[in-house]
A and B are shown apart, each in its own frame.
Chain A
């Protein structure tokens, strides 16, 4: 158990809908990262938050957004869902946001868009 908690574990929704994925980082970790993992691609970095502020953006679509709250939990919002958004979404956390900090992954949220 990495200490990173993600909910829900599984989610099935229809195209065009909006969902919110939630992540609680490890106790004491200030950084939260979101990754997308689909069958034909590896782990794609989406976005990084540090202590409530956006630090870096990766291949995140405009239909997707995220935030980190004062209690350090984070939410990833996915809207206008398409079939291609079906994937495993991981949250990871680390103590800081600086170079070389080990990141710890949660168990992921399986999103299926039908």
Chain B
């Protein structure tokens, strides 16, 4: 099955700096890669996603890049704010089955 690895497990940045979280996947058939943000005591919320026919996608301060050849994808958050502090999960969805495989999460702390 698919194996998704996520790094780093913890990340601290100063407010206003950028944060980058990286994930790798093993199944070359995976073609959908969402990112979720989980705040304390809440369920994961979708923040951005990318499909395998696209190399980059942006939504305001958040962007995701995908390198299918290397089988890795990254989340970029620019101009970080304290409310960006949360746990972020990447996921990969193989071509069949619609089963999502999640990374182990990155705890992001934005220091005011």
Interface centre among A48, A55, A101, A103 (most CB of B within 10 A): A103
Looking across the interface, which residue of chain B has its beta carbon closest to that of A106? B43
Residues of chain A with a CB closer than 8 A to B51's CB: 100
Say how far B98's CB is from chain A's closest CB, in angstroms.
Answer: 5
Instruction: Point out the residue from B31, B41, B89, B96 that lies within 8 Å of A43, measured CB to CB.
Output: B89
Q: What's the Cα separation between A108 and B41 when bound, in Å?
A: 8
Tell whether, in the assembled complex, residue B93 and residue A99 are in contact, meaning their CB atoms are under 8 Å apart. Answer: yes
* Interface range for B: 20 to 34
The 8 A CB mask of B39-51 against A (1 = contact, 0 = none) is 0011111100101
Say how far A80's CB is from chain B's closest CB, in angstroms.
Answer: 26
Tell whether, in the assembled complex, residue B43 and residue A2 are in contact, meaning their CB atoms are under 8 Å apart. Answer: yes
Say how far A66's CB is from chain B's closest CB, in angstroms.
Answer: 15
The 8 A CB mask of B70-112 against A (1 = contact, 0 = none) is 0000000000000000000100011111111111110000000
Tell whether, in the assembled complex, residue A103 and residue B45 are in contact, meaning their CB atoms are under 8 Å apart. Answer: no
Residues of chain A with a CB closer than 8 A to B93's CB: 99-100
Tell whether, in the assembled complex, residue A56 and residue B89 are in contact, meaning their CB atoms are under 8 Å apart. Answer: no
Tell whether, in the assembled complex, residue A43 and residue B34 are in contact, meaning their CB atoms are under 8 Å apart. Answer: no
The 8 A CB mask of A15-46 against B (1 = contact, 0 = none) is 00000000000000001010000000111010
Instruction: Point out the residue from B34, B101, B103 that lies within 8 Å of A45, measured CB to CB.
Output: B101
Q: What's the Cα separation between A97 and B99 when bound, in Å?
A: 9
Looking across the interface, which residue of chain B has its beta carbon closest to that of A31? B98
Tell whether, in the assembled complex, residue A58 and residue B99 are in contact, meaning their CB atoms are under 8 Å apart. Answer: yes
A residues contacting B by CB (< 8 A) are 2, 4, 31, 33, 41-43, 45, 48, 55-56, 58, 90, 92, 94, 97-108
B residues contacting A by CB (< 8 A) are 31-32, 34, 36, 41-46, 49, 51, 89, 93-105
